[in-house]
């Protein structure tokens, strides 16, 4: 180590800043504490505000910070674990399912969902909207598409309103035997309506979980659930969905 390698590959300022701030968060700040405002921080580090913001954006993406317009930037608590894909609530709306039904209406699903449900291009299905709140904070919004053929009993109670109707659809689903399930997780950005429900701005990063439910040899329901990527860690597995360790998990950065 004779010659100290100074900057053969100089890293970007915002990346270095991210590292410095990250370490400061670990050692000098506590959860919930308010950081100095962006203009002050930028001045303190001798960079333009845009550069500082780039570093803050990274940290927010990683769930270390929470920024709110008009309020300020605070140190975020560790991400909360949210159980998905565990056996305990095979059908949506079953026991131990914390989702809140919002409403249900007939809708023509997007093309991808229609293909999975094997419905016609302009054929309406039940659309159940639900939301998930943990520790008083909105965490996820779900669109659950249910083929009309799967819940034939619903024609009779067609007149029920909002959340009651949503509960009726979910109740009918429980009567079917679930043969299998298949989920996919990908990164997306919140649409305007999702953003409002999740208390974020449009474009905020979200984890989109798409789940197909199989019964009677076909796909009877498709769920598209949108989770706040900054505050959530999605857990899968055989442990029943309980938090085994509330400690922060190893991070990629």
Partner DNA sequence: AAGTGGTCTAGACCACGTG
Partner DNA sequence: ACGTGGTCTAGACCACTTG
Residues of this chain that interact with a copy of itself (CB under 8 A) are 11-12, 15, 18, 58, 61-63, 79, 81, 85, 110, 112-113, 115-116, 180-192, 194, 202-203, 205-208, 210, 212, 222, 224, 226, 229-230, 232-239, 244-245, 247-253
Helix axes 13-28, 49-61, angle to 10 degrees: 60
For the beta carbon of residue 219, count every other beta carbon within 10 angstroms. Answer: 21
Residues lying near DNA in the complex (CB under 7 A) are found at 9-10, 12-15, 35, 37-40, 46-51, 53-54, 56, 67-73, 201, 203
Q: Which is nearer to a copy of itself, 61 or 108 (CB)?
A: 61
Q: Which does 49 bind (CB under 5 to 8 A by kind): a copy of itself, DNA, none?
A: DNA
Q: Which is nearer to DNA, 51 or 160 (CB)?
A: 51
For residue 55 the two structure tokens come to 């570093």
Q: Which does 69 bind (CB under 5 to 8 A by kind): DNA, a copy of itself, none?
A: DNA
Residue whose pair of structure tokens reads 């997780």 in the numeric block: 185
Q: Which is nearer to a copy of itself, 145 or 168 (CB)?
A: 145
Task: Give 101: exposed, middle or buried? Use CB within 10 Å, 0-12, 13-18, 19+.
Answer: buried
Q: Which is nearer to DNA, 89 or 196 (CB)?
A: 196
Q: Which is nearer to DNA, 141 or 143 (CB)?
A: 141
Q: Work out how close the CB of 12 gets to DNA at its nearest, in angstroms, rounded to a whole number.
A: 4
Q: Which does 72 bind (CB under 5 to 8 A by kind): a copy of itself, DNA, none?
A: DNA
Q: Work out how close the CB of 71 gets to DNA at its nearest, in angstroms, rounded to a whole number.
A: 5
> 174-178 long-range CB contacts below 8 Å, 24 or more apart?
174/91, 174/93, 174/94, 176/91, 176/150, 176/215, 176/216, 176/220, 177/215, 177/216, 178/90, 178/91, 178/213, 178/214, 178/215
CA distances from 162 to 54, 104, 213 (A): 42, 6, 23
Q: Which residues is 34 bridged to in the sheet?
A: 74
């Amino acid at each position: 180590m004779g010659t100290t390698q100074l900057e053969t590959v100089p890293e970007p300022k915002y990346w270095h800043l991210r590292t410095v701030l990250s370490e400061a968060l670990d050692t000098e700040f506590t959860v919930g504490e308010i950081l100095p405002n962006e203009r002050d921080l930028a001045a303190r580090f001798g960079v333009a505000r845009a550069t500082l913001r780039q570093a803050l954006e990274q940290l927010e993406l990683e769930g270390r910070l929470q920024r709110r317009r008009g309020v300020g930037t605070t140190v975020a608590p560790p991400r909360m674990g949210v159980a998905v894909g565990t056996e305990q609530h095979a059908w949506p709306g079953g026991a131990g399912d914390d989702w809140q039904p919002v409403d249900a209406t007939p809708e023509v699903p997007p093309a991808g969902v229609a293909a999975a449900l094997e419905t016609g291009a302009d054929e309406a299905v039940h659309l159940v909207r639900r939301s998930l709140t943990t520790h008083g904070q909105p965490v996820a919004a779900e669109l659950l598409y249910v083929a009309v053929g799967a819940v034939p009993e619903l024609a009779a109670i067609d007149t029920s309103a909002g959340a009651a109707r949503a509960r009726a659809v979910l109740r009918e689903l429980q009567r079917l035997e679930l043969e299998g399930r298949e989920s996919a997780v990908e990164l997306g950005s919140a649409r305007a309506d999702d953003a409002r429900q999740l208390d974020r701005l449009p474009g905020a990063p979200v984890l989109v979980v798409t789940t197909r439910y199989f019964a009677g040899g076909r796909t009877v329901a498709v769920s598209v659930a949108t989770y706040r990527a900054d505050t959530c860690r999605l857990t899968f597995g055989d442990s029943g969905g309980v938090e085994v360790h509330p400690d922060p998990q190893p991070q990629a950065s």
